[in-house]
Amino acid sequence: MIGEEDYDHLYKLVLVGDATVGKTHILSRYIKGTLPKAPTATIGVEFATRTVSLDAGCTVKAQIWDTAGQERYRAITSAHYRRAVGALLVYDITKPATFKSCQRWMEELRSNAEPDIVIMLVGNKVDLAEKHAGDRQVDFDTAADFASQQGLLFEEASAVTGANIKLCFEKLLREI
């Protein structure tokens, strides 16, 4: 067991992306292993933490900041981004508009967070495409190309099934 106060590094991470892409569900899945109780849009947790042991005996404490729905009004304060060294930039693979917004979220991150912030692009709700292939509206390759052009890490995931959620955070933390 790793004690909560026993760690080598403390990293602030932020969750960004349009409203309803699944940020709060991703955080809850990663921190608690379960999904949040609906409705989630109005719950204003500032951040949650998880201490993880990475390779080479390095233990990091991730302090992960979620929004309380301010992204709906593009009203996220600069305090949300301040000193963030990593970000999960989330879109919904069934909603192309949420993927298009990623450009703007990246600019917001680059101008408000640490200059060398590491960004993991996450295509969430992949479970929907597994159920009905026609629900997929953003190609894996399109997103992967965008990520490589922009120097972002990239994964598709599902907060509902839990697929790749832990992987997204751990790849991001390793890169940081």
Which residues contact Mg ion (rule: CB under 5 A)?
23-24
The option from ligand GDP, Mg ion, none interacting with 89 (CB < 5 to 8 A, set by class) reads: none
Q: Which does 159 bind (CB under 5 to 8 A by kind): ligand GDP, Mg ion, none?
A: ligand GDP
Query: By C-beta, is 23 or 125 nearer to Mg ion?
Result: 23
Q: Which of 13, 16, 64, 159 binds ligand GDP (CB under 6 A)?
A: 159
Q: Does 40 bind ligand GDP (CB under 6 A)?
A: yes
What b/e readout covers 115-150, taking b as 16+ CB neighbours within 10 angstroms? eebbbbbbbbbbbbbeeeeeebebeeeebbebbeee
Cα-based distances in Å from 170 to 132, 148, 164: 29, 19, 10
The total number of residues shown for the chain amounts to 176
In this complex, which beta carbon is closest to ligand GDP, that of residue 53 or of residue 103? Answer: 103
Using DSSP bridges, classify how beta strands 118-124 and 153-156 pair: parallel, antiparallel or unpaired: parallel
Residues that bind ligand GDP (CB under 6 A): 19-25, 40-41, 124-125, 127-128, 158-160
